[in-house]
Amino acid sequence: MSDIPAIEVRGLRRVFDVRQGLFAKPRQVVAVDDVSFSVPAGSVLGIVGESGCGKTTLARMILGLLPPSSGDVLIDGQRLGDLDRRARARLIQPVFQDPFSSLNPRRRVRDIVAMPLVAQGNIAGDEVKRRVGEALERVGLSAEQGSRYPSQLSGGQRQRVAIARALVLRPRIVVCDEPTSALDVSVQAQILNLLAELRKDLGLTYLFISHNLAVVEHVASEVAVMYLGRIVERNESEALFAHPQHPYTRALLDSVLTPEPGLGVPDVGLGDTMPDPANIPPGCRFHPRCPLAFERCSHETPKLTPNEAGFVECLLAEE
Amino acid sequence: MSALLDVRNLRVTFGGTAAVRGASLTVEKGETHCLVGESGCGKSVTALALMGLLARGGKREADALSFAGQDIRNLGERDMSRLRGDRMAMIVQEPMTSLNPADTVGSQLTEVLRRHRGASRAQAVDRAAELLGRVGITAPGLRLGQYPHQLSGGLRQRVMIAMALMCDPELLIADEPTTALDVTVQAQILRLLAELQAEFGLGILLITHDLGVVARIADRVSVMYAGEVVESAPTAELFAAPQHPYTRGLLTCVPVPGKVKRGEPLGSIPGVVPRIPPGFVGCSFRDRCAYAHAACKHDIPRQHAGPDHEALCTLPPGWTDRAAA
Amino acid sequence: MSVTVVPGTGAARRLLRNIGFVVGATIVGVTLIVAILAPWITPYDPFAVDLVHRLVPPSFMEDGTPANFLGTDQLGRDYLSRLIYGARISMIIGIATVITSGIIGTTLGILGGFYGGRMDDVVMFLITARLSIPVVLVALAVAGLLGSSFILVILVLGLLLWDRFAVVARSTTMQIRTLDYVSAAWCAGSSQASVLLREILPNIATHLAVVATLEMALAILLEAALSFLGLGVPAPLPSWGLMIAEAKEYMFFTPWVILVPGIALFVLVLGVNLLGDALRDLLGTDLNR
């Protein structure tokens, strides 16, 4: 493996203007705020956070679906903006959350899977056919299922189609945005196992976005925790789950309900104020919900404090 | 003393299709009974059938269906609607579908009490404000004047819970009440439900697909598969010694932090949920079951693995111990 | 309960169970066939004047003759033949208008919905501007300046009735472009043209089909109205509107002369609308899955 990181993100920021009325001044919503990280080739970076924390916006920027307001995305050492659409497609592919909206209902499965090959423009018909068949087989679908429409498949089968489509160009990187959240537990396990197996066999790099920490722990080698547009803690998976340093990470971990009877429902102590990306508090952005907040948190912005493999952004850790 | 809710062999059909093919469960006063299963297993239809809220074309039959000792099988729509929202209440996954977007939270909350109890406006407002405070909403007075779209998902679900509690119900049916919420909010809402239950002695029937939720909050669990309750047991017993192969499969599918090593495959159940044709006999899980044998094609006995532990399976009770040994 | 919808067979079966669709499709289908076969199935030349046999009642009425099933008009032309040729005019107007306005409206709507921003502002302005132009007044002006002709009617209607296509194409495109399968197509490296033609257009086509039926009914009625006013298809072409206009002087003595084209017009427009309603119902269930 080369030393060039599969994904490198530098100072990425994205601001949305939200118009509230015809004459009102647009409000600025900072969805992703100065995020930097790199993902070594062959590893899995898990990104966790609550809805509205900016994780999907981040994924869309890395996929080139949304231009950043500022900052750079480098895929395999090359600036995303410099890659043409075909070259980008050969490097990075997505798997989305909802297998019901991620497949065009009017096309047959084999045409959906063939789409990235066809878009390359220089692959012969026989070759396309062969590789589509290969990809379908790889994800556990039969050739007969290839001639069906998405509405004739179950949720798990649809997600397999989406994975086949992502892999047919043999990309290096796959961005999985909540790939199992819309699935039943038994199907979720099948898809997670498939993703793990494909990664091992094909040497893929995953950016794995999820709100489910148990799932992230299972697949990710490193984890980044996002809160209101920033990564507040990043570490190796084991270290992060064993000793979370940021109070938010701790709260997230505490609120995971593992199937262990008798433990009761934990008290995460976050209160009922919800984070609002249009109204980011001064100081540490987590302080209004933080059970450990003290006076300095409300006006002093915490700096990055390095840990084993990443950093944490909390005044408590600075001390 | 009979159970608060007693359902025996509930069956629901839509046209020729059976959505529920045999659900039996009881909810005692002050007990949380979880009905767990995957999508399409009939758990939500069961909830709607119990509330008498089946969509048009749905037909409900049961050997017994009683609420607080009263047979509600043949209750007319008028009597049912008197029960609903008063002595039995329901909360659903997406609160937006049951809150009226054009009406304030306050007027929707007070309407329940005024309709069922004939309370005065002032009384109802007091009660609403008190309950909003009770479900953990700060500044209840302010929230009463707001519209549902001004609230976050977690707040809306709290409002739904407050609304369900307006008339001091005896039974609360909660259909995936936390599925649409973030994990941190989910923990808060579940905690709230547990507290309220202890305080008001509520019987709760909680419908969920999340085994984590089940483990943490249920007293009793019923596992549903393809329209049937295939296993029913006290929570600790179900997780410690699951009898039905489906339950066992389901439990291995869930990644547990610290238990399953990274990189090792999770357990999974092969295949997909089958379509059950009319006149189907035998075990609906047999095509996906590693232990299936000839007897699974005939009527399946309901076996007791413990005083309170039933499973719908041909395997002898306690087979898992021998399988492990 | 999840019900899987099978495109093709299932949709066709559901359509055939819809009475509105069966009736509408039959009416439109029969009219279309009659219009196409007009030169071969008309008993007489629709323009042949026979002043001896004027205003002969239909054969099933008193004084009718079997020679003229629907009688003759004030110039002794065979009414059935004129009615059949009239169907031809109505169908040509309806279809040509829908094609012209459909192309204009869909293009504008997709562009606005797809690109948003400035492009969308321009499209919205065009739609608003178009909605403030009264069709009949424009037709009047055109007829006054250039005289009335068949082609002009098609052009006026086709260039003016695209607004609904544009509105529907714009809003459905806006919805669909945010869906994940469109994102996936971008990530797959598809070109803009390919995203528009393969991902978006097929998914808004059914909505546009519903609009097409509404517009077709409207175009047929407008043509009849314009011809009635003398601004549309010029005589002696047998447009149903023109037939009604020519018949109005005799309606108190021979009411059937106005009833025959009137009923034909009513039935055809009803058929087109029934077809549209059925398509919309089908779409409704389709979108609910």
pLDDT tens track for A255-270: 888 888 888 888 877 7
pLDDT band at B27 (very low <50, low <70, confident <90, very high): very high
The segment(s) of chain B belonging to CATH 3.40.50.300 are 5-87+169-324
Nearest Cα to B172, choosing from B52, B88, B67, B82?
B88
Neighbour count for residue C254 (Cβ, 10 Å):
17
Mean pLDDT, range A188-211, rounded to an integer: 92
CATH of the domain at C247: 1.10.3720.10
Q: Which of B43-57, B193-207, B307-321 has the lowest mean pLDDT?
A: B307-321
User: Is residue C289 a contact partner of residue A151, using CB atoms and an 8 Å limit?
Assistant: yes
Superfamily of domain B5-87+169-324: P-loop containing nucleotide triphosphate hydrolases (3.40.50.300)
Distance of CA A98 to the CA centre of its chain: 14
Share of chain B above pLDDT 90, in %: 20
Nearest CA in chain C to B43: C1
With vertex at residue A30, the alpha carbon angle to CA C180 and CA A68, rounded to the nearest 5 degrees, is: 60
Q: Model pTM?
A: 0.85
Residue C143: per-residue pLDDT? 82
Contact of A6 with A62, CB cutoff 8 Å: no
**Contact between residue C267 and residue C27 where contact means Cβ atoms under 8 Å apart:** yes
User: Cβ(A74)–Cβ(C173) under 8 Å?
Assistant: no
Residue with token string 């407002």: B125
Alpha carbon distance B57, C80 (integer Å): 49
Contact B17, B226 (CB under 8 A): no
Give the three-state DSSP class for A163: helix
Residue of chain A whose alpha carbon sits nearest to that of C194: A119
Q: For residues A185 and A214, what is the distance between their CA atoms, to the nearest angstrom?
A: 12
Residue A313: partners with Cβ closer than 8 Å, 6 or more residues away: A230, A231, A232, A233, A246, A284, A302, A303, A304, A305
Decide if B253 and A189 are in contact by the 8 Å CB cutoff: yes
Q: Does residue C163 contact residue C133 with C-beta atoms inside 8 Å?
A: no
CB pairs under 8 A between A and C: 79
Place of tokens 């900016």: A54
* A257 vs B194, B212, B250: nearest CB: B212
**Which residues, at least 6 apart from B307, have a Cβ–Cβ distance to it below 8 Å?**
none
The per-residue pLDDT for range B69-96, each reduced to its tens digit, is 888 888 888 888 888 888 899 888 777 7
Q: Which of A61-65, A229-233, A280-284 has the lowest mean pLDDT?
A: A280-284
Specify the number of domains making up chain C.
Answer: 1
Q: Report the C-alpha gap between A275 and A271 in whole angstroms.
A: 11
Band of pLDDT at residue B195, cut at 50, 70 and 90: confident
**C259, part of any domain:** yes
pLDDT band of residue A130 (cuts 50, 70, 90) is very high
Residue of B nearest to C3 (CA): B40
Residues of C in contact with A80 (CB under 8 A): none
Could you give the CA distance from residue B45 to residue B58 in angstroms, rounded to a whole number?
9
B160 contacts B172 by C-beta, under 8 angstroms: no
The C-alpha R_g of chain B, in whole angstroms, comes to 21
Indicate whether C5 pLDDT > 70. no
Contacts with C189 from chain A: Cβ below 8 Å: 85-86, 88-90, 116, 119-120
Mean pLDDT for chain C overall: 85
Which residue in C6, C181, C191 is closest to A103 by CB distance?
A: C181
pLDDT > 90 fraction of chain C, expressed in percent and rounded: 39
Residue C121 domain-assigned (yes or no):
yes
Angle between helix A185-202 and helix B245-253 axes, rounded to 10 deg: 50
Q: Is the dihedral of CA A196, A199, A205, A206 positive or negative?
A: negative
Mean of the per-residue pLDDT values of chain A = 89
Higher pLDDT pick, C12 / B210: B210
What is the number of CB-based contacts under 8 A between chain B and chain C? 8
> What are the phi and psi torsion angles at B16 (to 5°)?
-95, -10
Dihedral sign computed on CA atoms, order C264, C270, C275, C276:
positive
CB atoms near residue C96 (< 10 Å)? 18
Using the predicted structure, report yes or no on whether residue A242 has a pLDDT greater than 50. yes
Distance from CA of C2 to the nearest CA of A (A): 10
Axis crossing angle, helix B153-165 with helix B121-134, rounded to the nearest 10: 130
Amino acid at A266: P
What local confidence, expressed as pLDDT, does residue A204 receive? 94
* Residue at token pair 């709100």: A211
**What is the average pLDDT across C135-162?**
86
Pairing mode, strands A70-75 and A44-48: unpaired
Using 50, 70 and 90 to split pLDDT, how confident is the model at A27? confident
Residue B246 is inside which H or E element, if any?
Answer: helix B245-253
Could you give the percent of chain A with pLDDT greater than 70?
A: 97
Q: Of the ranges A103-117, A138-152, C7-21, which one carries the lowest mean pLDDT score?
A: C7-21
Residue of C120, C181, C182 best to disrupt the A interface, most CBs of A under 10 A? C181
Look at C1 and B17 and tell me if their CB atoms are within 8 Å: yes
From the list C7, C189, C202, the residue facing A86 with the nearest CB is C189
Q: Report d(CA A191, CA A42) in Å as an integer.
A: 19
Which residues, at least 6 apart from A106, have a Cβ–Cβ distance to it below 8 Å?
A: A149, C7, C202, C203
For residues C74 and C55, the answer to whether their CB atoms sit within 8 Å is: yes
Taking the C-alpha atoms of residue A242 and residue A129, their distance in angstroms, rounded to an integer, is 47
Tell the burial category of C178 from Cβ atoms under 10 Å away from its Cβ (0-12, 13-18, 19+). exposed
pLDDT of residue C164: 92
In a domain, C53, yes or no: no
Query: Quick check: is C239 in a domain?
Result: yes
Whether B154 has a pLDDT exceeding 90, the answer reads no
Percent with pLDDT over 70 in chain B? 96
User: Neighbouring chains of B at 3+ CB pairs within 8 Å?
Assistant: A, C
C29 in a domain, yes or no? yes
Does the beta carbon of C284 lie under 8 angstroms from any beta carbon of chain A?
no
Q: In whole angstroms, what is the distance from residue A167 CA to residue A220 CA? A: 19
In the predicted model, what is the mean pLDDT of residues C189-207?
Answer: 91
Among A256, A289, A255, A286, CA closest to A271: A289
Quote the Cα angle for B276-A155-B36, to 5°. 60
Q: What number is the average pLDDT over the span C210-239?
A: 87
Question: Higher model confidence: residue A242 or residue A273?
Answer: A242
Q: Residues A2-26: pLDDT tens digits?
A: 578 999 999 999 998 877 666 667 7
pLDDT band at C141 (very low <50, low <70, confident <90, very high): confident
- Domain of residue C176 covers 9-47+61-287
Task: Give the lowest-confidence range in A119-128, B74-83, C28-37, C50-59.
Answer: C50-59
Distances (CA, A) of C225 to B108, C64, C133, C168: 52, 30, 17, 26
More confident residue, B117 or A119: A119
In this prediction, residues A155-164 reach a mean pLDDT of: 93
- Tell me C85's DSSP state: H
Which among A62, A46, A54, A7 has a CA at the least distance from the CA of A192? A46
Nearest chain C residue to B40, by CA: C1
Residue C95: per-residue pLDDT? 93
Q: Specify the DSSP element, H or E, that contains B204.
A: strand B203-208
DSSP string, B112-135: HHHHHH---HHHHHHHHHHHHHHT
C180 CB neighbours in chain A (<8 A) are 96-98, 101-102
Cβ-Cβ contacts under 8 Å, A253 against chain B:
257
